């Protein structure tokens, strides 16, 4: 009996070691994504949107996704640099970000890594001016906004960029973000006219930051919006492009 239990225990340990090795090999061959989420209170169903973003990335077959529901990974430069891209799907109302974490994130992107900003995440850290610049455009409470959620037409502004190549104008049921603030030069990929702001608004765009690439996606109030085929394609391609500077076929 003791021998049987020993064999079972050793088999279990072997399987754990094998699974760990498989995960390590998988992580080494795929784009390593740190998906930071949580702390959205009542603004958005963040668990739902996080699951949707993760599924979109994993189903593409190109990404190894690690999800963090807090900001702790940003506190270690060494840990942060094990990833290729940070995806921020978190409206950070309250949790502070230390000076070290701020520097780590900026250095991460400046050094050639990727940063993907999702929906209201750009409203985070309102007292950190450089974060707004990093996002290219950012939501400012009392200035930015949107009309009632509805179905609207999104226009592809750049049909040749790898993120939007081959996509056509599409319909999406979502919030149409408007009056995002900022003056940094941005390259607009998707846009549409807002009846709320009375002007054409950028909805997906990118900008360089040092040697790195930032992609900002204003779509994504909930899973329904995220699973719009064109939006899902933009997320998968946008995260890949921000991480690598290309979109592989």
**Tens-place pLDDT, residues 123-168:** 999 999 999 999 999 999 999 999 999 999 999 999 999 999 999 9
69/35 Cα distance (integer angstroms) = 8
Structural domains for the chain: 26-244 (3.40.50.880)
pLDDT tens string 193-241? 999 999 999 999 999 999 999 999 999 999 999 999 999 999 999 999 9
Pairing, β 150-156 against β 170-174: antiparallel
The more confidently predicted of residues 219 and 1 is 219
At 204 the pLDDT is 98
Are 211 and 111 in contact, with CB atoms under 8 Å apart? Answer: yes
Alpha-helical (H) ranges within the chain are: 2-29, 46-60, 77-80, 99-110, 129-135, 223-226, 229-244
Residue 39 pLDDT more than 80? Answer: no
At 101 the pLDDT is 97
Closest CA to 126 of 182, 175, 192, 45: 182
Task: List all residues 6 or more positions away from 193 whose beta carbon is below 8 Å from its beta carbon.
Answer: 199, 200, 201
Assign 29 a pLDDT band (cuts: 50, 70, 90). Answer: confident
CB-based burial of residue 193 (10 Å sphere; 0-12 exposed, 13-18 middle, 19+ buried)?
middle
Residue 94 pLDDT more than 90? Answer: no
At 21 the pLDDT is 42
């Amino acid at each position: 009996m003791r021998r049987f239990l020993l064999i079972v225990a050793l088999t279990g340990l072997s399987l754990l070691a094998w699974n760990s090795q498989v995960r390590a090999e998988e992580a080494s061959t795929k784009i390593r994504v740190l998906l930071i989420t949580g702390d959205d209170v009542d603004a958005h169903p963040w668990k739902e949107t996080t699951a949707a973003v993760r599924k979109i990335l994993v189903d593409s077959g190109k990404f190894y996704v690690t999800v963090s529901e807090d900001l702790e990974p940003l506190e270690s430069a060494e840990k942060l640099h094990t990833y290729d891209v940070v995806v921020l799907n978190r409206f950070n109302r309250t949790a502070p970000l230390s000076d070290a974490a701020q520097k780590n994130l900026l250095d991460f992107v400046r050094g050639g890594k990727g940063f993907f900003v999702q929906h209201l995440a750009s409203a985070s850290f309102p007292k950190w001016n450089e974060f707004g610049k990093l996002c290219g455009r950012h939501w400012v409470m009392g200035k930015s906004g949107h009309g009632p959620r509805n179905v609207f037409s999104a226009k592809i502004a750049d049909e040749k960029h790898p993120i939007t190549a081959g996509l056509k104008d599409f319909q999406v049921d979502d919030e149409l973000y408007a009056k995002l603030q900022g003056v940094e030069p941005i390259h607009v990929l998707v846009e549409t006219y807002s009846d709320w702001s009375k002007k054409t608004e950028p909805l997906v765009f990118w900008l360089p930051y040092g040697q790195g690439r930032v992609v900002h996606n204003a779509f994504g109030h909930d899973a329904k919006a995220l699973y719009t085929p064109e939006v899902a394609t933009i997320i998968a391609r946008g995260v890949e492009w921000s991480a690598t500077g290309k979109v592989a076929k």
